[in-house]
Amino acid sequence: MTNSEFHDRLVGEFSELAAADSNDLELIRLALLVSKDEYTGLDIESKEQELQQLAELLNDSLKFPELRYNVRRIVRTMALTMFREFGFGLDTEYPDDPQNLYLNRVLERRKGIGITLSLLYSEVGQRAGLDIRPVALPGYMLCRFYPDLTRSQDYEEMPEILVDPSAGGRNIRRQDAHILIRNRFGGRLSLEDRFFYPIQPRQFIQRLLRLLKTIYLQRGDDDRAAAVIDFLVAMYPWDLDEMRDRGMLRARTDDAREALDDLEPYLQFRRDAKDIGTIREIVLSLREHLESEEDLKTLN
C-alpha cells in the first residue's frame, strides 16, 4: 500500500466515524486516526487501552462513592492524579511543536497544549465516571465539570465548575477566564455565556485539525497541511473555505486537476467572497496549464 493509499484509507475511516450522531461520536478514535496518518505504525487499540487504564487508576484515586458529592476534593484529586501522578503537563518550551496535537505523542511524552490536555482530562474523567466536558473559549480550552453526574443539555441551569488543564487542573472562576482572554486579545473580545457551554465532539476535532493545519502552514509544510485538510473536508464535505485552502496548496505543488476540483466549487458558490478575483485568476491559469498539457499529448 502506498502512502497515498494509506492516507486515503484513514480519511475514509475517519469520514465514516465522523458521520455518527454526536452522542455516539468516538472523539478519541478520531484523534488517533489523525495521529496514525503521521505515525503510521500506531496501534490505536493499545492507546485506547492505555486511556482506559489511566481512567481505572483515577477511579481508584477518587474512591468514587465517598467523593461523589465533594466537588472540591474531586477536582483536587483529579489534578493531583492527572498532573502529578500521571505526569501530564503543558509544553511551555515548544508549544508549536506538532507533536503536541497528536494524541499518541502526548500520551508518550506526557506533554501537550491546552486542547490535547483538555481532551485527555475530559476523556479520562468520563471513563472514570465523571461528567467532564471540554469548553472552547476563543483561543483557550477549559473543561467543565458537572458534579451531579447528569447528562442534561440545560447548561444554563447547571452548576459551573471550570477547570484549567493548562494550569495543572486548577479550578478557576469565570472572571479568571475573562482575564485569560483579555490578556491574550486585549479589550477587543468579550466572553459571552455561550462560550462556556461544552463544545460538541465534532467541533472539538475540527478545532484540533485547524490548529494542526495552521502549524504546518506556518512551517511551510504544504503537503502535511493539505493532508490535514483532507480530514477536515471528510468531516464537513462542503466546507468551501477548507476546499479553497487545499486547492491553493495543490496549485502550488502543480497538482492542477485536483486543485481545480477544490477551487471551482468555491468560484461557483462564493461569488461574493473578497478573494474571488484572486481565485478566478488561479483557476484560469490552472485551466490553461491543463489545456497546454493536453495539446502536448496530442502533438506527441
pLDDT in tens, 165-223: 999 999 999 989 888 888 887 767 777 888 899 999 999 999 999 999 999 999 999 99
Residues 216-239, mean pLDDT to the nearest whole number:
96
Residue type, 5: E
Give CA–CA dist 123/160, Å, rounded.
19
29 touches 48 (CB < 8 A): yes
Place of cell 461523589: 68
Give CA–CA dist 257/251, Å, rounded.
9
pLDDT at 145 > cutoff 70 = yes
Q: 231 CB contacts (<8 Å, ≥6 apart)?
A: 11, 14, 33, 34, 37, 209
pLDDT at 299: 64
Give CA–CA dist 284/300, Å, rounded.
25
Please indicate, yes or no, whether residues 132 and 63 belong to a single structural domain of this protein.
yes
Please indicate, yes or no, whether residues 103 and 185 belong to a single structural domain of this protein.
yes
Please indicate, yes or no, whether residues 245 and 190 belong to a single structural domain of this protein.
no
Residues 263-284, mean pLDDT to the nearest whole number:
95
pLDDT at 300: 61
Please indicate, yes or no, whether residues 75 and 167 belong to a single structural domain of this protein.
yes
DSSP-derived letter for residue 199 is P
Least confident piece of the model among 46-55, 77-86, 197-206, 249-258: 249-258
Please indicate, yes or no, whether residues 248 and 153 belong to a single structural domain of this protein.
no
Residue 227 lies in a domain: no
Percent of the chain with pLDDT over 70: 92
64, 119, 164, 282 from 141: Cα distances, Å: 26, 9, 8, 37
Q: How confident is the model at residue 274 (pLDDT cuts 50, 70, 90)?
A: very high
- Tell me which long-range contacts 44-48 makes (C-beta under 8 A, separation of at least 24): 47/103, 47/104, 47/107
DSSP-derived letter for residue 157 is G
Please indicate, yes or no, whether residues 68 and 193 belong to a single structural domain of this protein.
yes
- Domain final residue, candidates 199, 230, 246: 199
Q: How confident is the model at residue 67 (pLDDT cuts 50, 70, 90)?
A: low
pLDDT at 239 > cutoff 90 = yes
Please indicate, yes or no, whether residues 168 and 274 belong to a single structural domain of this protein.
no
pLDDT at 293: 77
E strands present in the chain:
89-90, 111-112, 131-137, 140-146, 161-164, 170-172
pLDDT at 150 > cutoff 60 = no
Q: How many domains does the chain have?
A: 2
